[in-house]
């Protein structure tokens, strides 16, 4: 069994299409087909079945895929470890971020870290709370910044970086827009603009509204902070957003007001796989994240 066969098999399994896999691998389709056929002959099982224009994994194929991915991930980590052994300052950091962090403080993280580690490369991956945890578990990335930071998880270890406050975000013309602070209950009758159900910020807002004695009337949903800010600024409703998501300017700005009752916060943390040693430069970056305190001017 050759390494190339595993690489070709994993690519075909992910793309579910021989031609598309060959294009991404920059080889002829016949070469991919030949390697997959040889792999099946060596294993003595059929790994794929044709389903329409796509290829579908068999039961044996699904079993073999998880092992093949583990092998390739282990190989990637081994190469990184050797590179770091030769030059700890020339390694690669694989890290994931949610949208609110990548738009606000990610540039500060990387810029400050590279001042002392100029040769380190970053492989960045953006995702939702659930997808980032899954990517860490699967070895696609080594670290992820997530919110809220999981207090206990079977497969990942979370460490809190910071706790941030959520603010009421209102249309500029709203009667409460000039207030120093408000009670969340004062927004009881307002239409809300929230993230979709797959985003971790949504249950935080829903729980806060419940504490204030009401269920928010959700009229619009968005997938990005800019969308929610824009809809609120255009008068489509109100929302709650964390401080990090309000650190940069957009074309049209909503009013931002402090919530005094109940106080709404969320934790932001860094996660990694449990029971697994991080590559040296990645662990240095993890410690940097835990110690880094961005100023409001960043």
User: 159-181 pLDDT, tens per residue?
Assistant: 999 999 999 999 999 999 999 99
Domain span including residue 247: 162-266
CA–CA distance, 19 with 43 (Å, rounded to integer): 23
Do 47 and 93 lie in one domain? The reply is: no
| Per-residue model confidence as pLDDT tens digits over 43-87 | 999 999 988 888 999 999 989 998 898 898 888 878 877 776 667
Long-range contacts of 280-283 (CB under 8 A, 24+ apart): 280/81, 280/84, 280/88, 280/91, 281/84, 281/88, 281/89, 281/91, 281/92, 281/93, 281/117, 281/120, 282/91, 282/93, 282/94, 282/95, 282/142, 282/143
What is the model's pLDDT at position 298?
Answer: 43
Domain boundary among 63, 81, 99: 81
Q: Report, as ranges of residue numbers, the positions in the chain whose pLDDT lies below 50.
A: 296-298
Q: Are residues 154 and 192 in the same domain?
A: no
- What is the pLDDT, as a whole number, of residue 273? 95
Cβ-Cβ contacts under 8 Å for 179 (sequence gap 6 or more): 257
Q: Please tell me the total count of domains within the chain.
A: 3
172 and 230 housed in the same domain: yes
What CATH number does residue 261 fall under? 3.40.190.10
Q: Do residues 111 and 127 both lie within one domain? A: yes
Please check whether residues 166 and 262 belong to one and the same domain. yes
């Amino acid at each position: 069994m050759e390494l190339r066969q595993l690489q070709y098999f994993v690519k075909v399994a992910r793309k579910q299409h021989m031609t598309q896999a060959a294009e991404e691998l920059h080889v002829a389709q016949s070469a991919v087909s030949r390697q997959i056929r040889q792999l099946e002959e060596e294993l003595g099982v059929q790994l794929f079945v044709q389903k329409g224009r796509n290829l579908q994994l068999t039961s044996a194929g699904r079993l073999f895929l998880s092992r093949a991915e583990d092998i390739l991930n282990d190989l990637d980590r081994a190469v990184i470890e050797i590179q770091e052994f030769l030059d700890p300052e020339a390694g690669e950091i694989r890290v994931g971020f949610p949208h609110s962090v990548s738009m606000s403080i990610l540039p500060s993280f990387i810029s400050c870290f590279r001042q002392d580690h100029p040769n380190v490369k970053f492989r960045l991956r953006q995702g939702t709370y659930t997808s980032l945890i899954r990517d860490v578990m699967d070895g696609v990335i080594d670290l992820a910044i997530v919110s809220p930071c999981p207090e206990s998880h079977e497969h990942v270890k979370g460490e809190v970086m910071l706790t941030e406050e959520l603010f009421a975000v209102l249309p500029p013309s709203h009667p409460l827009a000039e207030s120093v602070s408000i009670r969340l209950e004062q927004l009881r009758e307002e239409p809300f603009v929230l993230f979709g159900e797959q985003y971790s910020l949504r249950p935080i807002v829903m729980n806060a509204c419940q504490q204030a004695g009401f269920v928010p009337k959700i009229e619009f949903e968005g997938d990005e902070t800019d969308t929610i800010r824009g809809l609120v600024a255009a008068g489509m409703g109100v929302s709650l957003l964390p401080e990090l998501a309000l650190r940069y300017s957009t074309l049209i700005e909503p009013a931002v007001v402090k919530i005094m009752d109940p106080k709404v916060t969320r934790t932001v943390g860094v996660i990694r796989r449990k029971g697994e040693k991080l590559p040296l430069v990645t662990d240095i970056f993890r410690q940097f994240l835990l110690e880094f305190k961005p100023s409001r001017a960043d």
